[in-house]
Structure 1
Amino acid sequence: MTVESDEQDGATLLRPLAGGHPHGRSTVDIARAMADGDRHHRRVRLVGSAGAGATVVLVVVAGWTIAGNSPQKPAPAATRGSTSPSTSPTVAAAGCTVQQLATPEGEGVRAIVSGGDPTGKYLVGRTYPGGRPSTVVWENLRPRKVPMQGEDPSLDGATSTGVFIGSSYTGTDKLTAWVYKDGGFLKLAGTDAVASAINEREVIVGSVQGRPAMWASPTAQPTMLPLPAGKGWTGSASGVDDDGTIVGTLQNGEFKEGQAYAWRPDGTLTKLAQPTVKGKPAMSYRTGSVRGGWVIGWASYDEPNRGPRWIAAPRWNLRTGTVDSTDGFFTTINAQGRIAGQLTVIAPDRTTVPLPLPSGLDAKSAMVTTEAISDDGTTVAGYINDRQGKLDDQPIAVVWKCGS
């Protein structure tokens, strides 16, 4: 397989971003980095792909071979420890409509969605008044400014009661974790801290000084989560379920690119099952969010002597201990185990629901990033860039409304 020359140029441009962040969230949100153009934005999830222009698009970014946002059928699941249908997925009858999210009055259309609550009532993200990022919340699709202190502010999680978490740079390249509650921001305890996720009980998880951490409440001191035996472990928690289960990624000298773990409510640390990529055991794999006992993540596999890595999206079932994988980026999950990404929602039984593009855009040039899906599956949100300039090189925030 070959890579288009313009995609190679994009890879060269983005390669410096892949060095990672020392606080555990070491992958790059490529689509958001392109949207923002901010030097600091290294802490967010790997959720985008950079490129289109072919039926199956391959983009090399920092040595990864990534499936693009083409409207292709996802590959059948490669499942460990359970059985899954090996036939092509069934397309669900329930359709989706798409609309662009409004931005606050007086601001331009440039905006991204970076998370949402389980009901779909609240979406969080940012807009760009004067060209600089500023945090915003959409409540029932209506935008509201909630400006966070610091440079490169980002909201990354929400509860159904309107509590939001995020992080920004407030010192010399140091991160501060924040929680928005009762009309204002409160700084979370801890130096060089990242807030990655919050559950309905207002338990917050992330990292403090490069180690996974949990805040039992917005005013609590951080609790450092246990690490495996041995020296040199670092990492971050990326998600917390309502029962208290926490998921995250840990790395050390042997596993430099990370492996996925779960902390059970009793504090027990469990390594998650190794997923497959293109039918082969993943060499590195990380967690994203967790909801209702389901975990979404990403995994990579090196092609021996070929350089690039294949990328896939593992979906763990914490109740059974099993995992299945889908080629490409699927970056958010709901309590039903439905994953969203690449213009598709895929249920655990492989039933799919297509996500349409706004009028005038096509899948060959649009770069679509999904960041939120409600528990009932009726609300999916994210943002879109377009390589052909139809959006004036600005990302737009969008929401899909789907049948249940």
Structure 2
Amino acid sequence: MTVHEHEHEQDGAALLRPLAGGRPMGPSTVDVARAMADGDRHHRRVRIAGAGATAVIVAVAGWAAVTDGGADKPAVTGASPNQEPGRSTGPKGCEVQKLAEGKAVVSGSDPTGRYIVGRTYESGHPSTVVWEDRQLRKVPMPGDDPTLYDATSKGVLVGTSFTTADTTTAWVYKDGKFSKLAGTDAQAFAINERGVIVGSVQGRAAMWASPDAQPTMLATPAKGMTGKATGIDEDGTVVGALVGGEAKADLGYVWSPAGTVQQLPQPQVNGKPATTYSAKAIRDGWVVGWAGHDDPARGGGRFIGAPRWNLRTGQFDMADGLMWVVNAQGRIAGEQTIVAPDGTTQKLPLPAGYDEKTAMLTVEALSDDGTVVAGYLSSRGSTMNAEPVAVTWSCTS
């Protein structure tokens, strides 16, 4: 580690420390399925882990501590969730409606569900938008391939676009205009209610203490590790993924409000340790991500699952499929089914004209009370419903 790098990491701890306390809140951030819906489809062999979206709680003795100089770092603890482990609350029934006519996707929301962000495709070109109380408002982000990832309950938005062919710029939208975040080749993935933003700068996990602040590189357990921060809780706890050193693939990490970094416990997928996994979002002490196990015996196929960690209790469970949204109740979603911490599930209804067998649904927003859900859907093999359509569900609590 160079002196320059060490100074950056000390600064990161100093900035994170004052954020401790308060009710944790966190976003939903991931773009794998969105890229597929936009037409950037990658051919891959995927097998879903298990056969049903059930979640079985697995207790762990403690967090897998990352050592530095031979000394174990203290266990990471997040702020306490609002419910006891195993208790499930949430919506009873949901009604679905379109958010826009024509091709459109949802990419995130604020914790209340009042501000839903996404993009539409007028004349075939993507342009960022926000639905405020389900009313569409155009907020065109500069640059190419723009994406809004997150929002606060006051309507502050963050996202990323390409400003050259291979350079990204991180943006914050506030008071009716976009402003660049400091840093070259930067990406912004999440913002909390205090205005702290996380993402990456030049391939390293980073945070901005405010929209006007310089970026601070988050600590890494080994020199030369790269990655990104994808979620931040209201108390300053950050989650994301790192690769490098002894890690040959992405591994999930959590940064405490004090600035210490720890690897999240390794999930098991299809009964075997995950070969790669990542934390995607954090909310009220709950963390959701994805995990994969590559199986050479099956021609290189990958089994996929969705780990959910509870930072307060040190427990985690696994759900089937891809999940990247989590709310304050610990409910997770990503596809058509919402999974509660106690394993109960809720299937979202599809609009008229979509078939259960061919529909491709991606959930990108789930409000804290569970009454607002949003995402986008399309249909395989259907000319009429091939393009993604932005939808929202109004659910009864």
TM-score (norm 2): 0.82
Cα distance between partner residues in 1 of 2:205 and 2:303: 27
The CA deviation at 1:131 is 0.2
The aligned amino acid for 1:175 is T
Paired residues of 2:49 and 2:270 also in contact (CA < 8 A): no
The aligned amino acid for 1:249 is A
Cα distance between partner residues in 2 of 1:154 and 1:390: 26
Partner of 1:96: 94
RMSD: 2.3
- In structure 2, relative to structure 1, the CA distance for the partners of 1:334 and 1:238 (3 Å cut) is same
TM-score (norm 1): 0.80
The aligned amino acid for 2:318 is S
1:229-261 CA-to-partner distances (Å, cap 9, x unmatched) read 3x3310000100000000010001532221111
Cα distance between partner residues in 2 of 1:371 and 1:93: 17
Partner of 2:53: 74
Q: Which moved more, 1:182-191 or 1:347-356?
A: 347-356
Paired residues of 1:361 and 1:390 also in contact (CA < 8 A): no
- In structure 2, relative to structure 1, the CA distance for the partners of 1:34 and 1:259 (3 Å cut) is closer
Matched, 1:257 2:255: no
Question: What percent identity do the matched residue pairs reach?
Answer: 59
1:340-361 CA-to-partner distances (Å, cap 9, x unmatched) read 1321111101122210111121
Cα distance between partner residues in 2 of 1:365 and 1:159: 34
- In structure 2, relative to structure 1, the CA distance for the partners of 1:33 and 1:317 (3 Å cut) is same
The CA deviation at 1:30 is 4.8
Partner of 1:323: 316
Paired residues of 1:96 and 1:354 also in contact (CA < 8 A): no
Cα distance between partner residues in 2 of 1:181 and 1:271: 34
Cα distance between partner residues in 2 of 1:92 and 1:294: 15
Structure 1 unaligned spans of 5+: 1-26, 39-49, 51-59, 83-89, 103-107
Structure 2 unaligned spans of 5+: 1-28, 62-87
Number of aligned pairs?
A: 343
Partner of residue 229 from structure 2, selected from 222, 237, 241: 237
The aligned amino acid for 1:134 is S
The aligned amino acid for 1:305 is A
Partner of 2:208: 215
The aligned amino acid for 1:348 is P
SS at match of 2:249: coil
- In structure 2, relative to structure 1, the CA distance for the partners of 1:137 and 1:232 (3 Å cut) is same
Partner of 2:6: none
The aligned amino acid for 1:356 is P
Partner of 2:120: 127
Matched, 1:37 2:16: no
Cα distance between partner residues in 2 of 1:332 and 1:288: 8
Partner of 2:217: 224
Matches within 5 A, 1:4-403: 29-37=31-39, 61-66=43-48, 73-77=52-56, 79-81=58-60, 94-102=92-100, 109-229=102-222, 231-306=223-298, 307-389=300-382, 391-403=384-396
SS at match of 1:256: strand
Cα distance between partner residues in 1 of 2:289 and 2:255: 16
Paired residues of 1:291 and 1:335 also in contact (CA < 8 A): yes
The CA deviation at 1:33 is 2.4
- In structure 2, relative to structure 1, the CA distance for the partners of 1:100 and 1:391 (3 Å cut) is farther
The CA deviation at 1:392 is 4.2
SS at match of 1:290: strand
1:76-118 CA-to-partner distances (Å, cap 9, x unmatched) read 4262428xxxxxxx9988111111112xxxxx51100000000
Partner of 1:10: none
